[in-house]
Chain A
């Protein structure tokens, strides 16, 4: 449908298949993630969006095909070959940020410690240097004044912004978001989407699983629609939301409009 750029993909999937036992969760998935762009993944519940996202940083292992980050195969030494070493996998994951639906902050650490931890333990910065960088990241998500708070003393939206700060502080080359606003009260969604928009405007490569069609329509450069473990449609927001040809996509969008009676 669209050709975005000729520059090499920031991440790519080739004929990726994933099974949970006998359940076929990803079917021959082919996908290129363009660098510096926002790719939104939409589709009905259970269609495999999270599974796809989690294969990109190998939190979920795939059974066949190739997943590459910046042209480097992740998870296996060679396509279909042996598992890559745990150390090598950790090195690759340093450069892939991930934000979860449930935030997954470490509750025994303050906001600052949550962000500084990876900088110190994984990136190897000294504690003071890690804290300087962690403060910068917190300032970026608008939480400079909350660094001493533990997660239990933060609202859901603030917790998710700390989680984003934790990921961007590592200076990843790509950021994965799995329904980052789905666990939030409606009035807190905006502050998180705002931070994500700002990241997008700075040219971060982002892959976002979302039910926020408004975000997908306005911020995404590319929208990917999945159903039953397959990629059914890929295109610009306009192509996917307005010129949808595939009946499965049409009925998904129809259902969404009925539930939300929103314009996008």
Chain B
């Protein structure tokens, strides 16, 4: 018999575990945007070696499965003398991986901005810093917003991979509850709806933000 009681009893614990899911995906996405902006600047640079480095970065982090990246980070960091909590290592790795995708999102968005806008800024003597922070990035973020939201939703789901470095987020927690209660169907359904709820909220927030940024 399907037991709703099991779901109600365990929901608080699952929601508690969702904190880690959110923490890793949201911080990972934020870091991905920051690092992605830097990688994107490299990809658009006039210097050949910077463009090469950016291309190498993107192909590495896009070409290696996140699961392997997490394992490498987990075992590599202590070897090179960096001892950080697993959670920090996980966020950093997810962020570096997201940066590869987000740098491409930003690059596409920047290419969609007419060149004349940068010329107008140059013509009044605006410094590159202001050109980027005031003219280009705000527009690139707006143009890229749907793709950025998409990436964030992918990260929410991909965050289940951090289980391998011992972090108990939604997926890991539901596995252990399932085996303790012998109620896998109920628990996994609860986990499914939890992921769904998170992603619906993110998608809705994205749409609201898009409408607010419209000009």
- B215 contacts across to A, CB distance below 8 A: 107-108, 150, 152
Inter-subunit contact A122/B125 (CB<8 Å): yes
User: A93 near B123 (CB under 8 angstroms)?
Assistant: yes
> Known contacts A100-B116, A107-B139, A107-B215; is A121 also within 8 Å of B123 by CB?
no
C-beta contact mask, B92-109 vs A, less than 8 Å → 1, else 0?
Answer: 000000000000000000
Main secondary structure, interface of A, reads mixed
Give Cα distance in the complex from A251 to B196, angstroms.
72
A102 cross-chain contacts in B, Cβ below 8 A? 114, 116
B124-A118 in contact (CB<8A): yes
Which of B134, B138, B213 has most A Cβ within 10 Å?
Answer: B134
Q: Report yes or no: A91 in contact with B120, Cβ–Cβ below 8 A.
A: no
Contact assessment for A118 and B122 in the assembled complex, using a CB-CB cutoff below 8 Å: no
Cβ of A106 < 8 Å from any Cβ of B?
Answer: yes
**B114 neighbours in A (Cβ, 8 Å):** 102, 104
Work out how many contacts link A and B, with CB atoms closer than 8 A. Answer: 71
Q: Are A104 and B126 in contact (CB under 8 A)?
A: no
A-side contacts of B125, CB under 8 Å: 90-94, 118, 122, 170
- Tell me the interface secondary structure of chain B in the complex: helix
Query: Bound complex: CA of A145 vs CA of B208, how far in Å?
Result: 29
Which residues of B167-193 are within 8 A (CB) of A? Answer: none
What is the minimal beta-carbon distance from A117 to any residue of chain B, in angstroms? Answer: 7
Q: Does A57 contact B (CB under 8 A)?
A: yes
- Is A249 in the interface zone, CB < 8 Å from B? no
Q: Which of B119, B123, B213 has the most CB of A within 10 A?
A: B123
Residue numbers in A under 8 Å from B83 (CB-CB): none
Specify which chain B residues have a CB less than 8 angstroms from the CB of A86 in the assembled complex: 128
Query: Is the pair B124, A100 in contact by a Cβ cutoff of 8 Å?
Result: no
Indicate if the CB atoms of B134 and A104 lie closer than 8 Å: no
CA distance A94 to B128 in the complex (A): 14
| Bitwise interface map of A from 160 to 200 toward B, beta carbon under 8 Å scored 1, else 0 | 00010011001000000000000000000000000000000
Nearest first, the 3 closest Cβ-Cβ pairs linking A and B are A104-B116, A104-B120, A94-B125
**Can you give 14 A-B contacts (C-beta < 8 A)?**
A59-B119, A90-B127, A91-B125, A94-B124, A96-B123, A98-B124, A106-B121, A107-B215, A108-B215, A121-B126, A122-B126, A150-B215, A166-B124, A167-B123
